[in-house]
C-alpha cells in the first residue's frame, strides 16, 4: 500500500516514513505544498498524511483542491496547532481524521490502518486465490490453513502482483512499487525476492501462481487458468 506524506519538518518526515515502511507501506515524501498538491493529484495513493502548516499551498488548501477534483483518497491531517476551528474546517473540507503534534507513532500507525479499514469493504481488503489468502489490513497470509510469515517487502511484492492478476509487471515497475526505486537498480533484487515468495507460499513450479515471462517480468496467474 502506497502512502503520500506531506511534511516540511525533515526530522518528523524521516521518522514517520521509516515507521510506515517498517509496517509494510511504500512511502513518498514531499516537503512543500506545491509538490504535495502535484503528487496528490497525479499519483495513486491509498492514503495521504497531510501537515496543515507547510510552505506553499497549506494542507487545508491541498485538501480542498483534492475534494473539488473528486479525489476521495483518505486524508489524515497533522497539525501542531490545537485549534478546534482548524480541525472543524479540515473535517468539513473532507478530511477523514486528524492528529495533533506531538503524537505517538503507534497511534499514527493505528489511525492509518483505521482509515484503510473504513475505505475498504471486506471483499477488497482480503485477497483469495485458490487456497492462498492475504489480509491486506492485518497482513496475515495463509495457504491451506498454514500461516505464512513474510517480510514487509515480500508481502508488498506478493500483494502488488495479486492486486492485478494477469497483468505483467516489469522489474522496473516492481522496483518502483515495492522498493520505491524510480529506476532499475541493475541488480537481481526482484528475482531474489520472487524466489523467496515462491518458496514461502509453496508455489508449484508446474502450475505456478507467480509466472515468469522471460525477458519481460512477472505476473500473478488469473484464477482458473493454467
- The residue to which cell 500483494 is assigned: 159
pLDDT of the residue at 186 = 66
pLDDT of the residue at 141 = 92
Domains of the chain with CATH codes: 2-119 (3.40.50.2300), 123-220 (1.10.10.10)
Gap between the Cα atoms of 186 and 3, Å rounded? 25
pLDDT of the residue at 205 = 85
Cell representation of residue 222:
488469473
Count of beta carbons in the 10 Å neighbourhood of residue 123 = 8
Give me the torsion for CA of 124, 130, 132, 138, rounded to 10°: 20
pLDDT of the residue at 127 = 80
Beta bridge partners of 48: 4, 75
Tens-digit pLDDT string for the chain (226 aa)? 788 999 999 999 999 999 988 888 888 999 999 999 999 988 778 899 999 989 889 999 999 999 888 888 899 999 877 667 777 888 888 888 888 888 889 999 988 988 887 766 444 567 888 789 888 777 889 998 899 999 888 988 998 888 888 889 888 888 887 887 765 666 788 999 999 999 999 988 888 999 999 888 999 987 644 4
How far is the first Cα of the chain from the last one, in angstroms, to the nearest whole number? 28
Cell representation of residue 73:
483518497
pLDDT of the residue at 122 = 40
Contact 52, 78 (CB under 8 A): yes
Read out DSSP for 18-76? HHHHHTT-EEEEE-SHHHHHHHHHHS--SEEEEESS-SSS-HHHHHHHHHHTT----EE
Query: What does residue 177 show for φ and ψ, rounded to 5 degrees?
Result: -80, -30
Amino acid at each position: 500500500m502506497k502512502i503520500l506524506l506531506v511534511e516540511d519538518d525533515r526530522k518528523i518526515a524521516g521518522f514517520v516514513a521509516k515507521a510506515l515502511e517498517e509496517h509494510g507501506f511504500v512511502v513518498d515524501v514531499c516537503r512543500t505544498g506545491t509538490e504535495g498538491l502535484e503528487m496528490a493529484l497525479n499519483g495513486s495513493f491509498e492514503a495521504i498524511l497531510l501537515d496543515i502548516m507547510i510552505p506553499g499551498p497549506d494542507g487545508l488548501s491541498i485538501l480542498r483542491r483534492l475534494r473539488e477534483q473528486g479525489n476521495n483518497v483518505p486524508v489524515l491531517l497533522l497539525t501542531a496547532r490545537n485549534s478546534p476551528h482548524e480541525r472543524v474546517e479540515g473535517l468539513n473540507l473532507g478530511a477523514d481524521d486528524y492528529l495533533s503534534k506531538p503524537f505517538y507513532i503507534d497511534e499514527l500507525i493505528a489511525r492509518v490502518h483505521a482509515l484503510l479499514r473504513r475505505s475498504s469493504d471486506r471483499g477488497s481488503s482480503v485477497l483469495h486465490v485458490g487456497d492462498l489468502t492475504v489480509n491486506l489490513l492485518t497482513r496475515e497470509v495463509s495457504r491451506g490453513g498454514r500461516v505464512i510469515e513474510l517480510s514487509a517487502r515480500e508481502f508488498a511484492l506478493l500483494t502488488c502482483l495479486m492486486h492485478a492478476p494477469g497483468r505483467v509487471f516489469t522489474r522496473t515497475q516492481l522496483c518502483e512499487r515495492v522498493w520505491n526505486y524510480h529506476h532499475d537498480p541493475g541488480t537481481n533484487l526482484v528475482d531474489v525476492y520472487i524466489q523467496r515468495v515462491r518458496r514461502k507460499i509453496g508455489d508449484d513450479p508446474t502450475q505456478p501462481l507467480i509466472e515468469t515471462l522471460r525477458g519481460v517480468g512477472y505476473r500473478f496467474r488469473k484464477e482458473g487458468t493454467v
